[in-house]
Amino acid sequence: MLWDVSVKKTYQSRHRQFEINIRLQSDAKRLVLFGPSGAGKTQFLKMLSGLTTPESGFIRFSSNDMYDHASGILKTPQQRRLVYVFQEYALFPHLNVVQNIGFSLHKNWLNPGKNVPSSEVEKWLDKFELKSLAFQYPHQLSGGQSQRVALARALVMSPNALLLDEPFSALDESLRHALRDELSDLQQQLAIPMVLISHNPEDVLKFGDEIVTLAHGKITSHQTN
């Protein structure tokens, strides 16, 4: 089983209480979390990645325990290597493209070198056609270019899975079509499992080998496409 997950967590604010209560089993290499804004999709994806810790339950990926409340297991995001790509890309504004892509390869707090990309970084600069932008900074990039940099930064880590939060929402329609095809081809080449959040039916058609619909923090349907 690729994904075997049972998690609960309550979020409390001054004006509302929101509970995530999800039980999911899936072998899909392409899994889409579908549903309206506020359904709990992002919170759930962050639990898978290790950015947020559930209050109870377990998260197993490919039969490996990432989190198990009863057993006291809590692996860090770095140990899980289930890499979360933020909706807004979250590039470091003070680092150029080479440094952003190579950041996760460095074990200390020193910034990667500005002018000398490693062989791994070179590989992804080539793959995403970013060589001409290697020394540009995030404020100099278009939305599509920023997305490619964010994906390259995720993939340079050799992740076990990609977790993508609304990866096309900030792009215009023509660019969405092109980058959907690009991401689809890349995922098939690498054979890397992917979980993708969307409320766009076109993303579901393109990537939804299985579609999990969420509402109010719970799964309301689980379908095979």
Q: Say yes or no to pLDDT of 116 above 70.
A: no
Dist. CA 109–CA 106, nearest whole Å: 8
What pLDDT was estimated at residue 194?
96
Q: How far, CA to CA in Å, does 5 sit from each of 28, 57, 69?
A: 14, 8, 12
What pLDDT was estimated at residue 109?
43
Global pTM exceeds 0.85:
yes
Reported as a single tens digit per residue, the pLDDT across 20-49 is 999 999 999 999 999 988 999 999 999 999
Confidence of residue 108 (pLDDT cuts 50, 70, 90): very low
What pLDDT was estimated at residue 10?
97
Domain ranges of the chain: 26-52+77-224
Tell me whether strands 73-74 and 64-68 are parallel, antiparallel or unpaired.
Answer: antiparallel
Tokens of 143: 């939305």
Reported as a single tens digit per residue, the pLDDT across 158-213 is 899 999 998 888 777 778 888 888 889 989 988 999 999 998 888 999 999 999 99
What pLDDT was estimated at residue 106?
65
Query: Where does 26-52+77-224 sit in CATH, by number?
Result: 3.40.50.300
Q: Say yes or no to pLDDT of 107 above 80.
A: no
Q: How many CB atoms lie within 10 A of CB 131?
A: 12
